[in-house]
Amino acid sequence: MTVILEHDQTLVQQTLKGEKNAFKRLIERYSKLIYNHIYRMSGSWEMADELTQEVFVKVYQKLDTFDSTKPFKPWLMRIASNTTLSEFRKRSKVVSLDALKENGYWKEPNSAPDTSALVETRLSTQAVLMLMQSLEAKYREVLLLRYKEELSYEEIADAMNTPVNTVRTWLKRGRDRLKKEMAKQNKRIVSP
Amino acid sequence: MSDDKNNSNSFDIFEQKLAQSLAELPNLEPPSDLTDRIMARVQEVEKPRPRKSLGVYSRVRPYIPMAAASILLVMAIPLILMGGPPDNTQAPMKTPMVVTRAGDVKNYVSDEKLTEFFQTWDKELAAEQAKSQTSVQDNEPLLAYDSALSSGMENLAETNVLYDDPLSALVGF
């Protein structure tokens, strides 16, 4: 971990000195992370492709403001988060849950609602991801950073530029709302 | 209580499953040319850009003539509504002011005005006098009464007889 951290700092310093290959190595290291994160946030490969480019261009432009005493990844995630949320505000991103059925992500239930078993028995992993699109972007992002990227509360707070307690609150609300949304969708399909 | 516990357990299961589902999400490989495209955009950013204009002034400059015209138009609106500037030729002439040697400010009246004034005054005075003469002729009976009264009083004084009523004295009582 320490080796990687030092390596990130070294690459940043080399980039600031004008070494293009150093920045290219940073892209190769983190583009997959950013690309997948934006896709999970947006549900769109096109947006993931477009915004990943934009994120790294911003990183390059703001690299001189990066604090070398801190880890690079949360700083990069912050830029990715701001860029993605800003794009959502522009596009007013709303994903219809009916699209879940059309895309085959939603499996028709065979019994009464049972939210404790939903994730296991009735929703594929992709369906969970798609259902998350109904959440506000901040809840979606905090859930992904926590459970997918496995960042600590402090790292999420740093990435989202918000206090740690707010991160805890958003995580709880995000889980609650996702659970309610699943129960609602299940009930709607069982008794239309 | 048991419901709360069940809910809590249910939530724990939900959280575990959610975390498991999200963690299992595959990390897909981005397009192979993504790095090259990013680097191309970075090169674009780094290329010297045409010098930007001088900031706020250059952005505002095209609008200055229009803004000036608008301001003039706004200033002209009250004049247009009032029907143009005031016509001094129709204003009543004011008495010119003069300053005497002592420093007093007095109204100055021209000689022509003074002559006209006194002529008018003379005419009015003459008319008053003529009117008063006419009124004397009209009041002759009263004047005769006054003279008779005067002579009667004199006669009474001579006879030392006092009457309360001067009219009674006239008729002899």
Q: Which domains does chain A have, with CATH numbers?
A: 1-93 (1.10.1740.10), 94-192 (1.10.10.10)
- Could you tell me if A28 lies within 8 Å of chain B, comparing CB atoms? yes
Task: Report the gap between the CA of B6 and the closest CA in chain A (Å).
Answer: 10
Task: Report the gap between the CA of B85 and the closest CA in chain A (Å).
Answer: 55
Average pLDDT of B11-35?
A: 80
Out of A39-43, A45-49, A142-146, which region has the weakest mean confidence (pLDDT)? A39-43
Which tokens is B141 given? Answer: 């009976």
Query: Measured between beta carbons, which residues in chain A are less than 8 angstroms from residue B8?
Result: none
Tens of pLDDT, residues A146-184? 888 888 898 899 888 889 999 999 999 998 888 888 777
Average pLDDT of B103-112?
A: 62
Per-residue confidence at A111, pLDDT binned at 50, 70, 90? very low
Query: Measured between beta carbons, which residues in chain A are less than 8 angstroms from residue B22?
Result: 125, 128-129, 143-144, 147-148
Task: Report the gap between the CA of A92 and the closest CA in chain B (Å).
Answer: 24
Query: Measured between beta carbons, which residues in chain B are less than 8 angstroms from residue A83?
Result: none
State whether B35 and A24 contact (CB < 8 Å): yes
User: Residue B163: its pLDDT value, please?
Assistant: 52
Out of A40-44, A110-114, B159-163, which region has the weakest mean confidence (pLDDT)? A110-114
Given a cut of 80, whether residue A39 has pLDDT beyond it is yes
State whether B18 and A148 contact (CB < 8 Å): no
Q: Which long-range contacts (CB under 8 A, 24 or more apart) does A27-35 make?
A: A27/A56, A27/B35, A27/B38, A27/B39, A28/B35, A30/A73, A30/A76, A31/A56, A31/B30, A31/B34, A31/B35, A31/B38, A32/B27, A32/B29, A32/B30, A33/A73, A33/A149, A33/B27, A34/A76, A34/A80, A35/B28, A35/B30, A35/B34
